[in-house]
Amino acid sequence: MFGILLINKPQGITSHGVISRLRKALDTRRIGHAGTLDPLATGLLVVAVGPATRFLQYLNLEPKTYVSTVKFGQSTNTYDAEGEVIQTRPIPENLEQQINNSLPQFLGKITQSPPIYSAIKVQGKPLYEYARRGEEVEIKARTQNIHSYTLDSISGDEAIFTITCDGGTYIRSLAHDLGEVIGCGAHIKELCRTGAGQFHLNQAIPLDQATADHIIPSHQTLQHLPQIILNREEIDHIRHGRSVENPTPINNPKAVLMTPDSNVISIANVVKETELHPYCVIPYELFDQLIENL
């Protein structure tokens, strides 16, 4: 049992909490996720089951797309609704115009400081531990790429945005920084991830309904890479860490190596266009199961 699960994460649970529940539901310990969502956030969480955890880094997971509800006029210490309100300021009468005037400066390559209440580690400790103790710590700004930042609707002091960005972007910081530019403060009220690269929220399963039947085979999630089907002898070479030759040149630095029945056994480095050197390989003991009926 291995492949990818697309989960629609509910509000009020951590990404690790999702994994804990799935381990019980699927009766396996080997589960991991790509792209943490805060407890406040909902939406798409990409989860790998079994040996597919080894291939998470090769999935097409960018850019990310989010829909956020932002409340203006209040700043919080966490940049979202779960935090403490630390400042209240009047909202300009022309809020919609000021939002539209301000959004262009958040497009493209921007410099962003992560929230102090985040899991980024400084000297081995996550930032939120420093925040909870009231300790000062230097937070290094990061460069992020924002593909689009669109105002969808506005009602009173709340507005809904759709944001497409590279991984690692803090949507909470985008809301906070927008509020500071306008001068009234702002924080995230609701946040939903609707897309991650090739995956979309409409493909996701509610957490409490997820079963092994919903697992997507790994080869279907790695179609952006060349896929090479190996014979039994070649599979044995890969099993022992040896390279195999492909008769057709491959114009890509990576390739997916599969059994004839489409089970992924390795991500290979492509050397000189025809030599496939196994780089990321499923556990040795699983080979017998996969080639039993070949």
User: What is the extent of the structural domain holding 284?
Assistant: 225-291
Q: What is the mean pLDDT of residues 209-227?
A: 97
What pLDDT does residue 142 have?
Answer: 85
Q: What is the 3-state secondary structure (H, E, C) of the chain?
A: CCEEEEEEECCCCCHHHHHHHHHHHHCCCCEEEECCCCCCCEEEEEEEEHHHHHHHHHCCCCCEEEEEEEEECEEECCCECCCCEEEECCCCCCHHHHHHHHHHHHCEEEEECCCCCCCCEECCEEHHHHHHHCCCCCCCCEEEEEEEEEEEEEECCEEEEEEEECCCCCHHHHHHHHHHHHCCCEEEEEEEEEEECCEEHHHCEEHHHCCHHHCECHHHHCCCCCEEECCHHHHHHHHCCCCEECCCCCCCCEEEEECCCCCEEEEEEEECCCEEEEEEECCHHHHHHHHCCC
What pLDDT does residue 124 have?
Answer: 66
What pLDDT does residue 284 have?
Answer: 87
Is 68 inside a domain boundary?
yes
Alpha-carbon span 144 to 213, nearest angstrom: 37
69 with 184, same domain: the answer is: yes
What pLDDT does residue 133 have?
Answer: 63
For residue range 66-80, what is the model confidence (pLDDT) as tens digits?
999 999 999 999 999
Is 210 inside a domain boundary?
yes
How far, rounded to the nearest angstrom, does the alpha carbon of residue 211 sit from its chain's CA centroid? 21
205 with 241, same domain: the answer is: no
Number of domains in the chain: 3
How far, rounded to the nearest angstrom, does the alpha carbon of residue 251 sit from its chain's CA centroid? 27
What pLDDT does residue 125 have?
Answer: 63
37 with 80, same domain: the answer is: no
178 with 71, same domain: the answer is: yes
Token pair belonging to 265: 């056994």
> Which among 163, 221, 188 is positioned nearest to 4, based on CA atoms?
221
Give the lowest-confidence range in 240-249, 260-269, 281-290: 281-290
For residue range 81-127, what is the model confidence (pLDDT) as tens digits?
999 999 999 999 999 999 999 999 999 999 998 777 666 666 666 66
Is 280 in contact with 49 (CB distance < 8 Å)? Answer: no
Is 47 in contact with 19 (CB distance < 8 Å)? Answer: yes
Sign of CA dihedral 177, 179, 181, 183: negative
Alpha-carbon span 245 to 241, nearest angstrom: 13
What CATH number did the domain enclosing 54 receive? 3.30.2350.10
152 is catalytic: no
23 with 137, same domain: the answer is: no
Q: Could you tell me the pLDDT band of residue 285, with boundaries at 50, 70 and 90?
A: confident
Given the residues 27, 38, 208, 288, select the one marked as catalytic.
38
21 with 87, same domain: the answer is: no
Is 8 inside a domain boundary?
yes
Give Cα separations from 159 to 52, 96, 165 (angstroms). Answer: 39, 9, 19
Token pair belonging to 94: 């022309």
pLDDT at 131 over 60: no
85 with 36, same domain: the answer is: no
What CATH number did the domain enclosing 260 receive? 2.30.130.10
Give Cα separations from 63 to 190, 201, 239 (angstroms). Answer: 20, 14, 34
Alpha-carbon span 116 to 138, nearest angstrom: 10
For residue range 234-244, what is the model confidence (pLDDT) as tens digits?
999 999 999 99
What pLDDT does residue 114 have?
Answer: 76
Is 16 inside a domain boundary?
yes
Q: Is the pTM of this model over 0.95?
A: no
Mean pLDDT of the chain: 92
